[in-house]
Amino acid sequence: MISISCIASTMAVQSVVHLASPFPSLGLTRPYKRPSLFTSCCSSLSNKAGTGATDFKPMLPSVERWPEYIPNKLPDKNYVRVFDTTLRDGNNPRCSTYATAEARDCPAAFQTTSRHHGSWFPASSEEEFETVKTIAKTVGNEVDEETGYVPVICALARCNHRDIEAVWEAVKYAKRPTILIFISTSDIHMKYKLKKTKEEVIQMAVSSVRYAKSLGFNDIQFGCEDAGRSEKEFLCKILGETIKAGATTLNLGDTVGINMPQETRELVSYLKANTPGIDDVVISVHCHNDLGVATANAIAGICAGARQVDVTVNGIGERSGNAALEEVSFTETA
């Protein structure tokens, strides 16, 4: 049973049945004889969902309010957070240019995606910084009258104080400011990109998480770039240390889109079984579509215990794109 949290896609699945599947190892489940509520940027299931009828009127919860947002805690073991990175990853293709002035001037753009928005890069330019700052002040303070839910605004930082300070100065105006600190963890990236040893990378990660916490962040995501090609034992070590330093969400990036669903499931399962303190944080997966399996990888991660998934609308993103918001959501209700 899976419940996904997004701006307009709430799946309260009360009964499920395991399906025969060409990928039985994924253990996929789907709702059985129960209509679900889903609204994407293009359509919504109506109250006739049990018969397959649809309309185009958004449907939001009218009775139950969204559960309280606690960075490292979920209201239910099957609750899944949707982290929308459309205005960041989705802006990487050369043809996409809407994440600066357009995003700043059109907060309505956020109404089509999830409650968790990011990850911009304030340190990359003054324009990006001002965009994130404006979004934090506006969208980050808009309380949904129906649900009482406030968007979580997240921005990106490398493991250095300048980046972290830029994120804080940009997002601190939001009611729920979040930072995603990332560093490469694969051998090839550490050797040729960072030119750092494993011990130095761990030190940088821990120092950065602690610094973010000292500035005022209580919602800190730590991301392992190229986690898909990283040694599992090293991931357990660096993630365990960042948990102790104050990380609340651990983001596993299949940065080069090289993993297959079974590998994603095995990675998440291994980390859950071997990382100290893992039960006190949320695991997130960030999947790219180079092999055409971004959505399958995202679902495999969820099946293994990940409870946050990074998505973009229509799967737009650099190279072959990211896991698609609508595909991941519909998979849980199909």
Q: Provide the pLDDT for residue 55.
A: 43
CA distances from 165 to 121, 188, 209 (A): 12, 28, 12
User: Tokens in use for 140?
Assistant: 């980050």
Three-class SS state of 242: helix
Strands 29-31 and 16-18 come out as antiparallel
DSSP-assigned beta bridge partners for residue 181: 157, 222
Distance of CA 205 to the CA centre of its chain: 19
> What's the CA gap between 81 and 90, in Å, rounded?
19
148 HSE (CA, 13 A, CB side): 8
pLDDT per residue over 44-86, tens digit each? 333 333 434 434 344 444 446 778 889 999 998 888 998 988 8
pTM: 0.79
Q: Provide the pLDDT for residue 195.
A: 98
Crossing angle of helices 232-245 and 198-215, rounded to 10°: 30
> What's the CA gap between 329 and 309, in Å, rounded?
10
Amino acid identity of residue 306, one-letter, is A
Confidence of residue 120 (pLDDT cuts 50, 70, 90): confident
213 vs 49, residue with greater confidence = 213
The set of residues, in sequence order, having a beta carbon less than 8 Å from that of 75 and lying 6+ positions away, is: 67, 68
